Structure 1
Amino acid sequence: MIRYHVSENPDEHPFNILPYAVQCYNSTRNKTTGFTPYKLVFGHTSGRPPEHVYLEKELMSKYVRDIRNKLEYYYQIARVRTDEQEQIAKIRFDSRVSPNLQSYKVGDKVFVKQSQISNKLQNKFDGPFEITQVFENSALLKNPETNRISKVNFDRLKPCFKT
């Protein structure tokens, strides 16, 4: 939204649209929790509560009780949905990493995926490195140029098939 606004109005400062972008974000449903950030914080969708709430103390205390109960309910649902999404992400991650767990042995040559690539044309993997020790989810790798040993998770490794 901000990028589009800046491209359409290059002379206008990007901070002018920031309050609208924040309102948009706070009113958009989160995929994981199933609620908007605004609803999780305040217990209702954005906007003011009914005016009659401020007129009588009894109504005000009932309103506060209702909001508190709603928030507890929303938090409980959000926790359940977040746990479900964590399980889905874990299954997806394990399906990608688990097949490689048994395939690495001491002495194998592997490439290591770079964590940050500064250039589009730069190689995504460094190596080859030699595996010196294998753990449950990681391995110790020896750099043949510097003889430096580092521990790397399996999800960043790729087998090297050249000799």
Structure 2
Amino acid sequence: MTTPHPSDSAEQRDLETTILPTLGAQLGAELAPETIDLGDGVRVALDGISADRSVIVEVYGHVGELKGAQGTKLTRDAFKLVFVGGRLGATTLVLAVVDQPAYRYLTTAKTWAAAALRDFGVTVTLIELDGADHARILAVQQRQAAGMRGSGSGDEQGGEPAGSTN
């Protein structure tokens, strides 16, 4: 068995697959990850979308206080929901988070982003993790942070490579 790269987020992606059925049941829709071709060479990866494309979900699997560009990542996920939802005619846009700090940032902060989510009809949902999942994600984040400190990559802000679909 190989040791994962310090920045590997496989556990967080796995968490998304465990959250989707719970969230889908709450929304009355079966959700699955999908990469959508929007035309003009534009492809976008979605954490969850219903078969009829009326429900689109992004999941943010971070626990703890937000640091650095993490608020920007949430805003980007929300903008993706609004953009893709508009293109596809989706009626339900959900940004699911797994911890209180992200939930508060998106729902109660006096920021343009929180106001925009309300104006554009993006629902922010808090999915409570059980103790084991919470501990697992926290351990992954600690490994990632230690790896970033040791890598000297300068990419601590969480940027994505050019051409990324996320």
- Under TM normalisation by the shorter chain, which class is it? under 0.3
Structure number with greater CO (CA < 8 Å, separation at least 6) is: 2
Which TM-score applies when normalising by structure 2? 0.22
TM-score, normalization by structure 1: 0.22
Larger radius of gyration: 1
